[in-house]
Structure 1
Amino acid sequence: MNSLGGARVVGEINPTLRRRKLAAELRRLREEAGLHGVQVARSLRWSTSKISRLETGQVAPSAKDVARLLKHYGVDDELSVLLLELAHGENKGWWDAYADVFADAVVELFGLEDGANLVRAWGSFSLPGLLQTRDYAEQMGFLARIVEMAPPGKIERRTRARLRRQRVLLKDPPLNYSVVLDEAVLRRRFGNADAKLMSDQMSHLMKMSDMPNVAIRVLPLEQPHPTDIANFILLSFPAMPVLGDISREAVYFENHPVFTLSEDEETVLQYSLVFDGLLGQALSEEESRAFIASLAGL
């Protein structure tokens, strides 16, 4: 795998990370000014709920609103210029077009992946979305038809979004992707998946493992498993000049049909240690390739 990408400039930051970074900076600046949200709202004749939405990243602030807040906090240096650049950027990513067919946490994950420079994933129930073939993704959609009674059109749009999401592995600078797969995941079939579909999926994993920024490791069934938890994804982000880290590290939990995202430092650390434990028990990359090849009949 390649080393992590360097610092990013404002124009390279996607809408999700811009919104989250602006929210964090606006909250920090208010606190450093010794002001409460109620005080700021009263001074600017805004509602307290507007301040809350801006500082939690629920909405993307307009450049006009950011300028007013920066003036109120007495910020007029290079930081002010950078924050206004963030506010002037595009407010929508490709993932926002699919907000009607995914839970909020899933849409947020797509945006975070797009801006991350390192993603670490554990697959214990199903293959991670970044590694799925179209046929496999369609059969995963079969679960939604059963569990959620989702209409075919919704399932098709979800499949389209999952495949679009995979382009993140081809971006420049590259996303470094490290994944550990439970052996059971490589053998488990969903929906109407047959032997050919699974063989094709294994061949696809072999192809993906050839990418310099992708590391796939298999945890055999006979190896001690350090955890019994469902799929999770750890996301890390590059830094920006002056502004520092674009976003705090985050962990995403995929326990269908419940999806959650956490930036709590202790939680992220806990799952980072869990992932390290999984790596310690998994086969090497070469051994994993040989294992997957045997399942593909290669």
Structure 2
Amino acid sequence: MPEGAEQFVTPAAPMGPKVAKANVAQRLRELRDEAGLSVAAVATDMDWSVSKLTRIEKGEVSIQPLEVRALLGHYGVTDENVLAELSRLARTARSRQWYSRHRLTGAYADFVAYENEAAVIRAWQLLFVPGLLQTRDYARAVTARTLRADPNDEQVQARVELRMDRQQALFERLGGPDAPRVIAVIDEAVLRRPIGGRDLMARQLDHLLKLAEDDETFALGVTPLDLEHHSGLGGSFELLKFAGRSHPDVLFVEGAAGADFLLTDRGATDRHNALFQDLVDYGRTGDRALQLIRSSRDALRGG
């Protein structure tokens, strides 16, 4: 990542199930509106519950391809290209993914699904190393402290396994046409906070430096402790961008006690994109960031 700037070209990529579901939901809402029909009227005519159609249009549940064709027929859509494309997306949206086995719910479930398809992942972390960049030992230590539980606690282990699976999914995408880019900025305090002990933390920083060797995938930045123009004090967040503008940017903020939230509205994502760019512009990037990570690691080892 060049000093004071971050540039990327969004790659062309196939649409994944989460983005496909969101696209189907949006298009079905639009077509119903264009037909001048209410949710209640369509639900009655289709012999569905209002709840079913509402959840389909919100992207909360998937829809069968045959149901898509039935809806479009009800809306007077006869263009075979539209019928075929929405049916194809509906089939894609129903494909089972690795994260299904974790039985996630709420905003975090949506976040993991979107992250799995993002072309660019922008992470800002004020307190600890971002999850996609954590070693297993560091993940166990930081999760145990967050939950105030033993590192071998079942809930701790479940969260660590999910984090490792997120990383595995990321690395499996690196050789494909939808290879993602991860741009992570962390506060210098993260480097100096010896979570799990000094040796474990030093190994975590070794891991960051190893990841940074793949500079086509990973770009690291650090906001130094003496930074005056610090735009990240409001808290950590992750921003997801998608190939070919197939979906609006997604903002995820992981809150305390499971109070997570996920936003796609343009005002919130634009504001956080600007905040992130400030962190890149005014923080340390490139070799300067890596040198700060090395010096922190060496200090942990008494060098």
2:5 paired with 1:4: no
Equivalent residue, structure 2, for 1:276: 277
Equivalent residue, structure 2, for 1:247: 247
Moved over 3 A (4+): 1-8
Q: How big is the shift at 1:227?
A: 3.3
Aligned pair in 2 of structure 1 residues 189, 254: CA closer, same or farther (>3 Å)?
A: farther
Structure 1 residue identity aligned to 2:100: D
Counterparts of 1:71-110 in structure 2, within 5 Å, are 71-75=73-77, 76-89=79-92, 90-99=94-103, 102-110=104-112
2:118 maps to which of 88, 106, 116: 116
Equivalent residue, structure 2, for 1:164: 165
| Cα distance in 2 for residues equivalent to 1:263 and 1:154 | 29
2:67 maps to which of 65, 68, 72: 65
Percent of counterpart pairs with the same letter?
Answer: 30
What does the per-residue CA deviation read over 1:205-262, in whole Å, with 9 as the maximum and x for residues that have no partner?
Answer: 00111111211000000012123122101111113xxxxx432211001233321100
Q: 1:16 touches 1:112 (CA, 8 Å); kept in 2? A: yes
Equivalent residue, structure 2, for 1:242: none
Structure 1 residue identity aligned to 2:184: V
Structure 1 residue identity aligned to 2:144: F
2:216 paired with 1:228: no
Q: How big is the shift at 1:150?
A: 10
Equivalent residue, structure 2, for 1:217: 221
Task: Return 5+ residue gaps in structure 1 as ranges.
Answer: 240-244
Q: How big is the shift at 1:168?
A: 4.3
Aligned pair in 2 of structure 1 residues 103, 136: CA closer, same or farther (>3 Å)?
A: farther
2:266 paired with 1:265: yes
Equivalent residue, structure 1, for 2:32: 30
| Cα distance in 1 for residues equivalent to 2:91 and 2:170 | 27
| Cα distance in 2 for residues equivalent to 1:137 and 1:16 | 26
Equivalent residue, structure 1, for 2:286: 285
Q: 1:117 touches 1:237 (CA, 8 Å); kept in 2? A: yes
Q: 1:145 touches 1:151 (CA, 8 Å); kept in 2? A: no
Q: 1:141 touches 1:159 (CA, 8 Å); kept in 2? A: yes
| Cα distance in 2 for residues equivalent to 1:36 and 1:28 | 12
What does the per-residue CA deviation read over 1:154-174, in whole Å, with 9 as the maximum and x for residues that have no partner?
Answer: 221211110110134431231
After TM superposition, the score normalised by the length of structure 2 is 0.87
Q: 1:178 touches 1:215 (CA, 8 Å); kept in 2? A: yes
The count of corresponding residues between Structure 1 and Structure 2 is 285
Task: Return 5+ residue gaps in structure 2 as ranges.
Answer: 2-6
What does the per-residue CA deviation read over 1:115-173, in whole Å, with 9 as the maximum and x for residues that have no partner?
Answer: 111111111012111110000110122035428x9982222121111011013443123
Q: How big is the shift at 1:182?
A: 0.5
Q: 1:236 touches 1:248 (CA, 8 Å); kept in 2? A: yes
Q: How much is the aligned-residue C-alpha RMSD, in angstroms?
A: 2.1
After TM superposition, the score normalised by the length of structure 1 is 0.89
Equivalent residue, structure 1, for 2:295: 294
Q: 2:119 touches 2:181 (CA, 8 Å); kept in 1? A: yes
What does the per-residue CA deviation read over 1:186-209, in whole Å, with 9 as the maximum and x for residues that have no partner?
Answer: 12244xx01110000000000111
Q: How big is the shift at 1:3?
A: 4.2
| Cα distance in 1 for residues equivalent to 2:37 and 2:46 | 13
